[in-house]
Amino acid sequence: DGGITQSPKYLFRKEGQNVTLSCEQNLNHDAMYWYRQDPGQGLRLIYYSQIVNDFQKGDIAEGYSVSREKKESFPLTVTSAQKNPTAFYLCASSPRTGPFTRGTQYFGPGTRLTVL
Amino acid sequence: AQTVTQSQPEMSVQEAETVTLSCTYDTSESDYYLFWYKQPPSRQMILVIRQEAYKQQNATENRFSVNFQKAAKSFSLKISDSQLGDAAMYFCAYRSARETSGSRLTFGEGTQLTVNP
């Protein structure tokens, strides 16, 4: 089936550790995105990538890093520099062409990160 | 910068009735896209409906329709014949049509919809 997968579903991190969240898509979408959602709030953009080997910072990139070595993969690393990483993380992808889908973002199921 | 405002943090509706969720946005651009996403308790974001600003016709998807008022910068979502499965957080989102924007979405704060049996 075509779609976006994120793993793990739940992740626990100790203070001072780096952790990596996985995001994979088989939709052949060019663009991919990472969002953070805190309880009772909307989504905030962390990083996005429009093409392989290129990515840009979003609104809250500090303490996070990404890579885009393959079109289908866009992993997010939460570093120890991120002071308050406990949140729900959503990955999305978007096609660049298509009359009915261009620019529309489709989301994965999310990863819940908790710092112990 | 674009902003999206959802002025109703919570709404409720009786099953089978109709409810309208409000959304306003601020932009200086003329070409853009607007979206409504639904986030049920599973927390996955599900696309409900999409509107292109240059199209005057309001988008519809089964029981979901929008009232797009470009001059007023308003984009409300109407849910007809509400069902228990419609209970969720609903987010309004804006996206510029400019390629240099990176297709990034700007979200509102959300409206929590409760459907009463």
Query: Looking at residue B98, what is its pLDDT?
Result: 79
User: What is the tens place of the pLDDT at every residue in B70-100?
Assistant: 999 999 999 999 999 999 999 999 998 876 6
**Among chain B residues, CA nearest to A55:** B102
The more confidently predicted of residues A25 and B103 is A25
Query: 3-class SS at B31?
Result: coil
Is B101's pLDDT higher than 70? no
Which of B45, B104, B109 is opposite residue A107, by nearest beta carbon? B45
Q: Which residues of B touch A106 (CB under 8 A)?
A: 47
User: What is the tens place of the pLDDT at every residue in A2-46?
Assistant: 699 999 999 998 888 899 999 999 999 999 999 999 988 889 999
Mean pLDDT computed over every residue of chain A: 91
Residue A63 near residue A83 (C-beta atoms within 8 A):
yes
B55 pLDDT band, cuts 50/70/90, is confident
Query: Looking at residue B99, what is its pLDDT?
Result: 67
Which of A31, A43, A109 is opposite residue B44, by nearest beta carbon? A109
Is A111's pLDDT higher than 70? yes
One-letter-per-residue 3-state SS of chain A: CCCEEEECCEEEECCCCCEEEEEEECCCCCEEEEEEECCCCCEEEEEEEEECCEEEECCCCCCEEECCCECCECCEEECCCCCCCCEEEEEEEECCCCCCCCCCCEECCCEEEEEC
Q: Is A88 within 8 Å of B43 when comparing Cβ atoms? A: yes
Q: Which of A30, A32, A37 to mutate to test the interface with B (most CBs of B within 10 A)?
A: A37
Which of B42, B50, B110 is opposite residue A104, by nearest beta carbon? B50
CB contact A73 to B (< 8 Å) = no
A98 pLDDT band, cuts 50/70/90, is low
